[in-house]
Amino acid sequence: MDLQLKEKSVIVTGGGSNIGRAIVLELARESANITLADLDEGQAGKVAEEALKLGASDIQVIKTDVTDLANVQTMVQAARQKFGGVDVLINNVGWDDLMFFSQTTPEFWDKIIRINFLGALNCTKTVLDAALEDKTPTSIVSVSSDASRQGEAREAVYGAMKAGINSLMKSIAKENGRFGVRCNVVCPGVTIPGDDDDVGETSMWAKKDGMFTEEQFAKIAAALPLKKVGRPRDIANAVLFLSSNAVAGHVTGQVLSVSGGYSMIG
C-alpha cells in the first residue's frame, strides 16, 4: 500500500518517546519531511538521528511546549518555512499519573487539562489557520485513549480530556471537510515502550513500573481478547493510515481504537 507520504510535511508533537517516537520512525520509512516538536530536545534529537538513517526526507527538531500558544505558533511557522506548508499534524502529546479522582487536586487537574487538551487546541487551531490560508488539504490525527471511550478507574480527568479530543476532532472535521481538512482519532490501550532507551526523562514511562508492575501488565494482557498489550508501532501504523490522503482520503471524524480489543464500539 503506497501511503504517498513521501516528502509530505508532517508535524509530530511528543515525537521523542514511545508512541510518538514510533510514529516519527514510521514516517521516516515513508520518506516524509518531519517536524518533531517536543519538550525534550535531547531525546528528540536522538530520534531524529534514527529517522534520518531510516530514510526520512528531512527532519527538524523544534523544542516546543504545546501548552504555550506562542511556542506552538513558532513551531508551525518553522514547519511551513522549511517544508513549504503543513500536510499532516499528529497531536500525540499526552500525560497522566494514575490516581483515584478522590485523591486528585485542582493543581493536578490543571496539569492534565493543559497537557492533554489545551496542547491539542493550540496545535490544531494553529495548523488549521495555516491550512485555510495556504489552501492545503490537511490531515489531523490526534492520539487519544481508550480511557475516553470506556471510562477508566484512576484516569477520570485524563479520560475526560481525551473524550474532549474525540469530540473536538469530529466538530472540526464537520466544519472543515469542505476545505479538504480531515480529522481523525486513534485511541491506544496500554502501549508499552519496546526498550527503556525508547523514552526520555519527560516520558510518563521514564519509570516503567511507576505506571504498572510487570504483574499488572500480565493481568492486563490476559484480560484482552488479543492477549497482549500494545507496542508503539501498533499505534503508529494506524496513525499513518489515517494521516494519508492516498489511502484514508474518504475517512474523517472517526475514532479508532487500537487496543487489542479492549473497547469495541459499534
How many angstroms from the chain centroid is the CA of residue 110?
Answer: 20
Helices (H), 30-68: 41-54
- Measuring CA to CA, how many Å separate 132 from each of 10, 45, 61, 98, 124? 17, 31, 25, 39, 12
Position closest to ligand NAD via CB: 94
Contacts of 252 (CB under 8 A, 6+ apart): 173, 177, 182, 183, 184
| 64 counts as binding ligand NAD under rule CB under 6 A | yes
Helices (H), 40-190: 41-54, 69-83, 106-113, 119-134, 147-150, 156-176
By beta-carbon proximity to ligand NAD, the closer residue of 66 and 136 is: 66
Strands (E), the chain: 9-13, 33-38, 58-63, 88-91, 138-143, 181-188, 255-258
Q: Using the rule CB under 6 A, is 203 a contact of ligand NAD? A: yes
Indicate the residue among 62 and 136 with the shorter CB distance to ligand NAD: 62
Binding segment for ligand NAD (CB under 6 A), chosen from 87-95, 102-110, 127-135, 170-178, is: 87-95
Region binding ligand NAD by CB under 6 A among candidate stretches 4-12, 79-87, 126-134, 196-204: 196-204
Check binding of 204 to ligand NAD (CB under 6 A).
yes
Q: How far is the CB of 29 from ligand NAD (least distance, A)?
A: 18
257 forms part of the interface with ligand NAD (CB under 6 A): no
**Residue number, 142 or 252, with CB nearest to ligand NAD:** 142
Q: Which residues bind ligand NAD (CB under 6 A)?
A: 13-14, 16-20, 38-40, 43, 64-67, 92-95, 115, 119, 143, 145, 188, 190-191, 199-200, 202-205
